[in-house]
């Protein structure tokens, strides 16, 4: 999985495009909800399946129509987590419709020298679904990449706030 910080910060940044900063602190929690399966000793369990989670989220959406904007945002952030996980490890994103987990490898390198160009690949890797319960589940809460992304997000939000303050003055 991308680290928890990356999931949260990504969700927070997207949420602030639609809601105020305080509300976004709460809405962004939806971006880390899929990983609650780790509390049950399993990571990338059915909480990481779009065919299982999307109908539940849509049902909640139908029951609480007056909050449709927030629920649409929460649903989007929840499902975005599953797509982000595809880039770091096998995720049962289409289970049980397709009984495999998938991961994506993406790499693009620049070639500079006597020739200039790009080389790379995009691979979608199927693997067996593994819903085995573990006594210990380990996963990154904050990684180097997540810390860098979090710092970048803070700078971006601070710059945005300064920009808004300048417009008002």
Residues 6 or more apart in contact with residue 5 via CB below 8 angstroms: 141, 142, 143, 146, 147, 149, 150
Q: Site size for Zn ion, by CB under 5 A?
A: 4
For Zn ion, the closer of residues 33 and 157 by Cβ is 33
Task: Tell me if residue 29 falls in helix, strand or coil.
Answer: helix
**How many angstroms separate the CA atoms of 135 and 129, rounded?**
18
For residues 51 and 45, the answer to whether their CB atoms sit within 8 Å is no
Asked if 35 is part of the footprint of Zn ion (rule: CB under 5 A), the reply reads: yes
- Write the DSSP symbol of residue 135: S
For Zn ion, the closer of residues 70 and 79 by Cβ is 79
For Zn ion, the closer of residues 67 and 134 by Cβ is 134
Segment interacting with Zn ion (CB under 5 A) among 27-35, 58-66, 106-114, 127-135: 27-35
Q: What is the pattern of x (binds Zn ion, CB under 5 A) and - over residues 149-168?
A: --------------------
> Helices 50-63 and 68-85 meet at what angle, rounded to 10?
170
The least distance separating Zn ion from the CB of residue 70, rounded to whole angstroms, comes to: 22
* Subset of residues 77 to 106 that bind Zn ion, contact rule: CB under 5 A: 85
The least distance separating Zn ion from the CB of residue 52, rounded to whole angstroms, comes to: 14
The least distance separating Zn ion from the CB of residue 62, rounded to whole angstroms, comes to: 26
**How many angstroms separate the CA atoms of 32 and 102, rounded?**
19
| Residue ranges that bind Zn ion, judged by CB under 5 A | 1, 34-35, 85
């Amino acid at each position: 999985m991308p680290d928890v910080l990356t999931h949260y910060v990504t969700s927070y940044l997207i949420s602030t495009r639609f809601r105020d900063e305080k509300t976004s602190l709460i809405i962004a929690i939806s971006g880390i909800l899929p990983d609650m399966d780790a509390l049950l000793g399993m990571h990338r369990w059915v909480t990481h399946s779009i065919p299982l989670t999307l109908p539940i989220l849509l049902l909640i959406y139908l029951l609480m129509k007056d909050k449709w904007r927030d629920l649409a945002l929460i649903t989007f952030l929840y499902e975005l987590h599953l797509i982000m996980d595809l880039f770091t490890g096998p995720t049962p994103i289409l289970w049980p419709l397709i009984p495999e987990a998938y991961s994506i490898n993406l790499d693009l390198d620049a070639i500079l020298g006597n020739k200039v160009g790009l080389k790379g690949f995009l691979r979608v890797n199927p693997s067996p679904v593994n819903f085995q319960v573990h006594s210990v589940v380990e996963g990154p809460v904050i990684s180097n990449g997540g810390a860098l992304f979090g710092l970048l997000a803070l700078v971006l939000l601070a710059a945005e706030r300064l920009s808004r303050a300048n417009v008002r003055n």
